Homo-oligomer: A and B are copies of this chain.
Amino acid sequence: MTLLARAQTLHFEQPLPLQSGASIRAYDLAYETYGTLNADRSNAVLVCHALNASHHVAGTYEGQDRSEGWWDNMIGPGKPVDTDRFFVIGINNLGSCFGSTGPMHVNPDTGRVYGADFPVVTVEDWVNAQARLLDALGIERLAAVLGGSLGGMQALSWTLQYPHRVPHAAVIASAPNLNAENIAFNEVARRAIVTDPDFHGGHFYAHDVVPKRGLRIARMIGHITYLSDDVMNEKFGRELRGAVTAAGATLAREAYQYTTQDVEFQIESYLRYQGDKFSEYFDANTYLLITRALDYFDPARQHGGSLAKALAQAAAKFLLVSFTTDWRFSPARSREIVKALLDNGRRVSYAEIDAPHGHDAFLLDDPRYHAVVRAWFDRIAQELSK
Contacts and interface: CB of A to CB of B under 8 A. Distances in A.
Contacts of A183: 238, 265, 267-268
B271 A187 contact: yes
B261 A288 contact: yes
A185 interface: yes
Given A177-B238, A180-B237, A224-B181, A188 B258 contact: no
Q: Tell me the number of copies of this protein.
A: 2
Contacts of A190: 260-261
B260 A289 contact: yes
B120 A229 contact: no
Nearest to A285: B260
A133 interface: no
A37 to B, nearest CB: 36
A187 B220 contact: yes
A384 to B, nearest CB: 39
A192 B272 CA distance: 12
A228 B119 CA distance: 34
A179 interface: yes
Interface string A190-213: 111011110000100000000001
Contacts of A180: 229, 232-233, 235-238, 265, 267
A292 interface: yes
Interface string A249-262: 00000001011110
Interface string A343-363: 000000000000000000000
A283 interface: no
Chain A interface size, under 10 / 10 to 19 / 20 to 34 / 35 or more: 35 or more
Given A116-B261, A120-B260, A217 B191 contact: yes
Contacts of A191: 216-217, 220, 272, 275
Contact of A185 (B181, B187, B224, B261): B224
Contacts of A238: 177-180, 183, 298
Contacts of A258: 19-22, 119-120, 122, 296
Interface string A223-242: 11001010011011110000
A116 B221 contact: no
Nearest to A227: B181
Q: Which of A188, A235, A268, A272 has the most CB of B within 10 A?
A: A188
Given A236-B180, A258-B120, A260-B116, A220 B267 contact: no
Contacts of A227: 181
Nearest to A121: B258
Given A177-B238, A236-B180, A296 B187 contact: no
Given A20-B256, A179-B237, 15 more contacts: A21-B258, A178-B238, A180-B229, A180-B235, A180-B237, A180-B265, A181-B233, A184-B232, A187-B268, A188-B220, A188-B271, A195-B217, A197-B197, A217-B217, A221-B221
Going nearest first, the 9 A-B pairs with the smallest beta carbon separation are: A20-B258, A260-B288, A180-B232, A120-B258, A180-B236, A195-B213, A188-B220, A187-B268, A180-B267
Interface of A: 19-22, 116, 119-120, 122, 177-181, 183-185, 187-188, 190-192, 194-197, 202, 213, 216-217, 220-221, 223-224, 227, 229, 232-233, 235-238, 256, 258-261, 264-265, 267-268, 271-272, 275, 285, 288-289, 292, 295-296, 298
24 contacts: A20-B256, A20-B258, A21-B258, A116-B260, A179-B237, A179-B238, A180-B238, A183-B265, A183-B267, A184-B223, A184-B224, A184-B232, A184-B268, A184-B271, A187-B265, A187-B268, A187-B271, A187-B272, A191-B275, A195-B216, A256-B296, A258-B296, A260-B289, A261-B288
